[in-house]
Structure 1
Amino acid sequence: MARLNGTTKTVTIVMVIMILSRLLGFIREVIMTNTFGRGIETDAFFAAFTIPDLMYTLLVGGALSAAFIPVFTSYLATEGEKEAWKVGSSFINLVVFALVIISILGILFAKYLVPFVAYGFKGEQLALTIKLTRFMFPAVTFTALAGLTSGILQAYKQFYVSYIGPILYNIGIIFGTIFLSQYFGIIGTAIGVIIGAITNFLFQFFFAKNKMQYYYLGFDFKHPGIRKIFKLILPTLIGLSVNQVSLIVNQNIASLLDTGSITALRLANRIIQLPLGIFAVSIASVIFPTITSQIARGEFEKFKYTFSLGMRNILFIIIPSAVGLFVLRMPLIRLLFVNGAFTEHDAFITAQVLLYYTPGLVTQAGIQILIRGFYANHDTKTPLKVSIISVISNILFNIVFVKYTSFGVKGLAFVYSTTSFMNMVILYYIFSKRMDGIKDKEIFISIGKTLLACIGMGLVVASVNMYLTKFINPFDKYLQIFQIGISSITGVGIFVLIAYLLKMEELRRVVKILLRK
């Protein structure tokens, strides 16, 4: 019970930090769109960021979650700190060395890489994308170092600092956009990316260094822990590569559509990432070391309980969040982005993309914890196989939708949600069958009650929003805040009331998380 209370407290604090981080991320996007609009410059910036981000995702994001944290945590739990750091030191040194080399090569050969992520770019836009790519590649190494220190802190179950770091990263980009863009244009934002990445790493390293007394320079490739990491990494890197290929194909398709399509996809996705990051990722990340340790100690019933509770709590929050975004998509995007160079037409296009993205929010939330369930069991091959099926379907459906329908950029979002649902269902079926059940009855009852509460909530929010729209100037920011605020508060009240009448355990859990000090 004490362990569960500790986890609850950790989730609460992590959520608060994540909210601040995601809000700063929104402020970052708002400032960028107000400054540069939805056009050539923002499309070039987001396309240029794809390549460094791809390197980071493959070599750090996937390696950390799928291999390093589970293996390092297992060694800490069973073999002791000194032995764990024999594994950690070799892995960290290898990743840093690889990323430094990749960053140098990326700067030198940027003009050959950019056409792979933005095939439709020509002339001035292509030249700008190449220039931005070269400016941002150095940030890869520092972002990787920040990711590694974050993994160390999470392995020691010290989550707070690892989630504060991204706040500093966002502040760096905001600084670049506000102050440096006056002199360098959108290049100033790229410089801000580097400033943010360096600050993020230095902040986390200040706290992580106290845990690194057994760290040493060198490589020990014969250590069984390193071999285990490489065994886990290979299928994960293949799987992530497949996913990234899908994203790059989608971006290339978007680059062939109307100008601003990449930006519309980016902004709608940023909105989806807000509840996904605050709730799904934070809860899944906090319980990940716990379920990994439970598996390592053979505590399978405790694992099932912790996993089921995490999934139910995530979906209890994410499903109504998706419904709220679906209903309030236009006033929300108008409030966040319409200003300066970002027009009402830009808001309408982005809102249409968001409409088709919202179902994917729920499925991606489920995938977040399901994948960690596989990783906790040291299984990276199953998510890989499912990912390949999903990505191939995603690419084929996108080509069909763009070529044979008038959906345009909206079709990319619709296919994303559809293939994400397929991915989640397959992962859940396999994982539940392998674990001889993961308290499936409790999960499905919870989902059913949550959907019932969301129906009532959605109808009320839509009615309140439509009523207020008749009297509110859509271009007055204060009135927009009032409209969204009243609609949201009313919706939350209705949802909580129905959940209370349905006697949902998740309501008590979430209230406990929100009220815990």
Structure 2
Amino acid sequence: MNRLLRAGAIMAAGTMVSRVTGFLRTAVIAAAIGTTLLGDAYNVAYQIPFILFDLLIGGMLSSVIVPSIVRAQQRDPDGGVAYEQRLMTLALLLLVSVATLGVLLARPIIELYTSDLTPRGVEVAATLARYILPQIAFFGLGAIAGAILNTRDRFAAPMWAPVLNNLVVIGVGLTYIVIVGGTDDINEVTAGELALLGLGTTAGIVAQSIALVIALHRAGFRFRPRFDFRGSGLGELARLGGWALAYVAVYQVGFVVTTNLATAAGVRAAAEGADYGAGWTPYNYAYQLFQLPYGIIAVSVITAMLPRMSRFAAEGRFDSVREEFASGVRTVCSLIVPGGVLLMVLGPAVTVLIFSHGANSTEDAIYIGNVLQVFGLALVPFSLFQLLLRVFYALGDTRTPAFIAAGNATFNATLSVLLYLVLPARYTVLGLALSFAVTYVVSSAVTWMLASRRVGGLGGRHVLDGLGRMYGAAVPCAALALGVLWATRGLLGLDAVGAIVMLAAGGGLGAGVYFVLANRMRIPEVKSIVGMVAGRLAR
């Protein structure tokens, strides 16, 4: 567990800076273009490269590519170097082709992911997509470089490189504000301003990818294009990747449903006279904030434990697989539990501080915070679900997760459509977040049972006992934060100053109460974290 904590701490530091600058980037872009129709057009266009990348390579990174590289390093006489070179060559060929095709088909792709946007909205989103879609090739280059670095236990660069991306886009957003003055009118934005937003966003990914390539070079890797794919072992990657592709494709079908429902709700809410954004952009921004504790804590632990689990599985050491998984779950939950509770209490304070500027009103920011509060319900089950999938990936099984994804996406889409039909437009996005939370509660329970059967048990009773004690320590934390929120709102109101007080006093004191109580309750993971931090401070 100490090894996992140390590796996780290194990555968490980079991820923390990356996420903080990422939210600053999001806040600057939101201040520049708002959370209504122009914001929706930008954010839909911004998401498409991520979607296409996930469909082609991103979904296979943790499930197939990292375990396959580990096996090649153990199997091949050259330590897997030729395999890595072929993999990077193939990925670049594929993604450059897809990026080119995506630019040509930008408008039909935009129309697939949106509902009820005006012709001007579709035109703006398609223009932005043409500027942003070339990112796909650079995503691939950086992602494969990051995967190779992870298999060599070089975790820092992949976690720190996104900071460069964020800084570039922050500069672009500030430049846009200086030039335009912060307007969210989609009918007034010019072709030059769209070029600034789109090309500037792509420049951020280019900088991130270059940083990862430099880090990989320093790690001793030398890229040489190799086209001798036949008999190279990539066939196994393609076989396993087929199910990984099915997994991602199923989720993207669900994503299409969510984006269409959210954009339609935003148009309906505006038509009904809502004085705040209630469409895709609030959902997207709340989801990004929801990902902060998951990204800092769970992703760091997952990244550190997957190569080890893959090695144990390749050696047939399933007891070590179980031990590594159990250590990861306990470490993640010890921090995710209070994180989810504090999100449910302090969500609006977070979003008022970040988003109530420029083209956004305080009401816009509070609405995003309300969506974030609902997402807080999903933090523990979502993180647990992602950890459970790594058990299958370490075993080389991508088929089972694909079937799990089909059930997950079907359940979520059905519940989302039902809530869309019964809720008023201004509450629809809240309903979509609730559907997400309920889906992952159900999915994590089902996935736990399936994974437990594969490795001979996952210690469910021990985990439930630990979760019970963690929530026992988190309840007083939430109560204290809630008391501070009510008192501050009564005295100062919910503006930027009030939000700072709520987060500093409510969040800081609440987190302190949790760690004191958890330490007293002898939760071993919290004791290890407290001991590690105390040791660092004592140096």
**What is the TM-score of this pair, normalised by structure 2?**
0.91
User: 2:477·2:511 contact (CA, 8 Å) conserved in 1?
Assistant: yes
Map 1:93-492 to 2 at 5 A: 93-180=89-176, 182-183=178-179, 184-211=192-219, 213=221, 215-223=223-231, 225-259=233-267, 260=277, 261-406=279-424, 407-475=427-495, 477-492=496-511
User: 2:488·2:498 contact (CA, 8 Å) conserved in 1?
Assistant: no
Q: How far does residue 485 in structure 1 lie from its aligned partner after superposition? A: 0.6
Deviations along 1:292-327, one digit per CA (max 9) or x if unpaired, are 112222222222111101011111111110110101
Deviations along 1:269-291, one digit per CA (max 9) or x if unpaired, are 11101101000111111111111
Identify the match of residue 15 of structure 1 among 12, 15, 26. 12
Give the match for residue 270 of structure 2.
none
Residue 496 (structure 2) pairs with residue 500 (structure 1): no
Q: How far does residue 39 in structure 1 lie from its aligned partner after superposition? A: 1.3
Identify the match of residue 92 of structure 1 among 88, 91, 96. 88
Distance in 2 (alpha carbons) for counterparts of 1:99 and 1:377: 27
SS across alignment from 2:35: coil
Q: How far does residue 473 in structure 1 lie from its aligned partner after superposition? A: 4.1
Please identify, of 478-487 and 237-246, the stretch whose mean Cα deviation from structure 2 is larger: 478-487
User: 2:85·2:225 contact (CA, 8 Å) conserved in 1?
Assistant: yes
SS across alignment from 1:470: helix
Specify every segment of 5 or more residues in structure 2 that has no aligned partner in the other structure, as ranges.
180-191, 268-276
Distance in 1 (alpha carbons) for counterparts of 2:232 and 2:93: 21
Distance in 2 (alpha carbons) for counterparts of 1:467 and 1:157: 47
Deviations along 1:317-376, one digit per CA (max 9) or x if unpaired, are 111101101011122211111122111221232122122211112111112211111101
Give the match for residue 53 of structure 1.
50
User: 2:36·2:266 contact (CA, 8 Å) conserved in 1?
Assistant: no
What amino acid is the match of 1:203?
A
Q: How far does residue 225 in structure 1 lie from its aligned partner after superposition? A: 2.6
Q: How far does residue 515 in structure 1 lie from its aligned partner after superposition? A: 4.7
Distance in 2 (alpha carbons) for counterparts of 1:24 and 1:207: 21
What amino acid is the match of 1:23?
V
Give the match for residue 271 of structure 2.
none
Distance in 2 (alpha carbons) for counterparts of 1:272 and 1:98: 32
Specify every segment of 5 or more residues in structure 1 that has no aligned partner in the other structure, as ranges.
none
Distance in 2 (alpha carbons) for counterparts of 1:388 and 1:425: 15
Distance in 2 (alpha carbons) for counterparts of 1:9 and 1:455: 28
Q: How far does residue 479 in structure 1 lie from its aligned partner after superposition? A: 4.2
RMSD: 1.8
Q: How far does residue 238 in structure 1 lie from its aligned partner after superposition? A: 0.7
Deviations along 1:8-28, one digit per CA (max 9) or x if unpaired, are 322111111111000011101
What amino acid is the match of 2:148?
I
Deviations along 1:203-231, one digit per CA (max 9) or x if unpaired, are 11112124565654223443363122111
Distance in 2 (alpha carbons) for counterparts of 1:392 and 1:136: 30
**What is the TM-score of this pair, normalised by structure 1?**
0.95
Deviations along 1:375-401, one digit per CA (max 9) or x if unpaired, are 011011111101101101111111111
Please identify, of 264-273 and 168-177, the stretch whose mean Cα deviation from structure 2 is larger: 168-177
Distance 1:10 1:349, change over 3 A: same
What amino acid is the match of 2:11?
V
User: 1:70·1:376 contact (CA, 8 Å) conserved in 2?
Assistant: yes
User: 1:161·1:207 contact (CA, 8 Å) conserved in 2?
Assistant: yes
User: 2:469·2:518 contact (CA, 8 Å) conserved in 1?
Assistant: yes
User: 1:327·1:462 contact (CA, 8 Å) conserved in 2?
Assistant: yes
User: 1:12·1:513 contact (CA, 8 Å) conserved in 2?
Assistant: no
SS across alignment from 2:397: coil
SS across alignment from 1:218: coil
Aligned residue pairs: how many? Answer: 512
SS across alignment from 1:200: helix
Give the match for residue 529 of structure 2.
510
Distance in 2 (alpha carbons) for counterparts of 1:422 and 1:115: 32
Distance in 1 (alpha carbons) for counterparts of 2:233 and 2:133: 31
User: 2:32·2:176 contact (CA, 8 Å) conserved in 1?
Assistant: no
Residue 66 (structure 2) pairs with residue 69 (structure 1): yes
Distance in 2 (alpha carbons) for counterparts of 1:410 and 1:5: 39
SS across alignment from 1:65: helix
Distance 1:214 1:140, change over 3 A: closer
SS across alignment from 1:162: helix
User: 1:176·1:190 contact (CA, 8 Å) conserved in 2?
Assistant: no
SS across alignment from 1:298: coil
SS across alignment from 1:408: helix
Q: How far does residue 159 in structure 1 lie from its aligned partner after superposition? A: 0.4
